[in-house]
């Protein structure tokens, strides 16, 4: 039986790792293919705000799930301490004493192989399966291969592979800037965003794509308008435009869900409703939306609160909360009497804009013969009394 082992920090496992694993399977055709994330790498320190070993293990399960015969092994994580490959091979040799073990590695690791812990033991017990990185590496790889074969009777197999030009360090940095979704398997990227690893911010184009299935055609246009208005207001008032964009994209994520599903979400998230909320389904989406967005995307508390209060408002709102409330009300698709005045006021005085927006909202509610919601009344009273009106 041929056993291939592919180890690494996988911090995170990116599309380059997946492409390498696919090349290994296609060219070696192993009977057993073990992908083994390290517990602690002996070659490099773990980056700041990295996932715990078990979380990297889960990301590997998400990344390599489509590779034939791939098994994600936790053997190095269970062993704890530094993850020396020699110890891993020893464990496998005990279980598979007569089988061929192929140790997969990249060009850099191969060319520095003599620095590995117990490298001679490894040469005696494994076939080195080397992913050839670039055309210019070929001569150096062949020279070192011949040297190991001559001096140690090593078994070395070169696997031609077009390595993607990326590194985990660069990918982590891109994710901190709200980029990088194209460099990771989609499920891995979503897992990172949800848990906030590497201080990652969701890439806005990726987030829009994930939200669109929850929105009607009208809601898509409204959400796009709310995002753009929120970004303009954030830049004007000194708030982070990316944070405002995220809140704008997500603010109506549950708005198009029917009442029965809204109520199921309330039950799931432990949201306690009063009679006025039960009687007015349109109010529910702000509360369920904040919880749903947190579940799917791990949003920050400030974004959660901005979504939570974007429909009713409340007294003493944060700048971001006011921006999302007003952007929802004044986005470019809105067309009602007085909206142009309110739009201008959004860039002149936020509190005065809140007072006017709440007044308009209360007027519209009363015109329908409905009872104004308590939070909206309290917010209106707060913003008008604060201004001495």
Number of residues that make up the chain: 389
Q: Does the predicted TM-score (pTM) go above 0.85? A: yes
Residue with tokens 């062949």: 142
Contacts of 91 by beta carbon, 8 Å cutoff, 6+ apart = 75, 79
Q: How many helices and strands, by DSSP H and E, does the chain display?
A: 20, 6
- Report how far residue 307's alpha carbon sits from residue 289's, in angstroms, rounded to the nearest whole number: 7
CATH topology for 211-386 is Hypothetical protein af1432 (1.10.3210)
Q: Please check whether residue 253 is in contact with residue 324, taking contact to mean a CB–CB distance below 8 angstroms.
A: no
Please give the pLDDT value at position 132: 82
Taking 70 as the pLDDT cut, the residues of the chain under it are 133-137, 279, 386-389
- Report how far residue 130's alpha carbon sits from residue 136's, in angstroms, rounded to the nearest whole number: 15
Please give the pLDDT value at position 388: 44
Q: What angle do CA 283, 285, 287 make, to 5 degrees?
A: 90
Q: For the chain, what are the domain ranges?
A: 2-166, 211-386
Q: Give CATH superfamily name and number for 2-166.
A: HUPs (3.40.50.620)
- Report how far residue 212's alpha carbon sits from residue 217's, in angstroms, rounded to the nearest whole number: 9
* C-alpha Rg value of the chain to the nearest Å: 28
55-101 confidence digits (pLDDT tens): 999 999 999 999 999 999 999 999 988 889 999 999 999 999 999 99
């Amino acid at each position: 039986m041929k056993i291939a082992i592919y180890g690494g920090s996988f911090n995170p496992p990116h599309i380059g790792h997946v492409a390498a694993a696919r090349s290994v399977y296609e060219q070696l055709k192993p009977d057993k293919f073990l992908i083994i994330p390290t517990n602690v790498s002996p070659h490099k320190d773990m980056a700041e705000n990295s996932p715990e070993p078990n979380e990297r293990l889960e990301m590997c399960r998400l990344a390599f799930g489509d590779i034939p015969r791939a098994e994600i092994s936790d053997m190095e994580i269970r062993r704890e301490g530094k993850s020396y490959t020699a110890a891993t091979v020893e464990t496998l040799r005990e279980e598979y004493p007569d089988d061929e073990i192929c140790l997969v590695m990249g060009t850099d690791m191969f060319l520095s192989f003599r620095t590995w812990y117990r490298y001679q033991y490894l040469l005696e017990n494994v076939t080195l399966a080397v992913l050839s990185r670039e055309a210019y590496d070929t001569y150096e790889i062949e020279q070192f291969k011949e040297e190991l074969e001559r001096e140690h009777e090593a078994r070395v197999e070169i696997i031609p592979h077009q390595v993607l030009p990326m590194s985990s360090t660069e990918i982590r940095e891109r994710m901190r800037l709200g980029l990088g979704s194209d460099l990771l398997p989609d499920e891995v990227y979503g897992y990172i965003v949800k848990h906030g690893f590497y201080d990652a911010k969701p890439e806005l184009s990726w987030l829009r794509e994930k939200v669109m299935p929850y929105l009607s055609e009208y809601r898509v246009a409204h959400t796009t308008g709310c995002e753009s208005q929120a970004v303009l207001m954030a830049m004007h008032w000194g708030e982070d435009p990316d944070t405002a964009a995220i809140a704008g994209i997500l603010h109506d994520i549950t708005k198009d869900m029917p009442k029965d599903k809204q109520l199921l979400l309330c039950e799931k998230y432990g949201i306690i409703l009063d009679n006025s909320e039960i009687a007015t389904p349109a109010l529910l989406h702000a509360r369920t939306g904040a919880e749903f967005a947190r579940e799917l995307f791990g949003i920050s508390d400030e974004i959660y609160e901005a979504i939570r209060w974007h429909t009713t408002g409340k007294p003493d709102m944060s700048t971001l909360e006011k921006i999302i409330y007003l952007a929802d009300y004044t986005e470019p698709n809105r067309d009602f009497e007085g909206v142009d005045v309110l739009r201008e006021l959004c860039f002149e005085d936020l509190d005065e804009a809140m007072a006017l927006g709440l007044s308009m909202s209360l007027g519209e509610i009363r015109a329908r013969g409905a009872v104004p919601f308590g939070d909206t009344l309290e917010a209106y009273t707060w913003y008008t009394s604060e201004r001495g009106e």
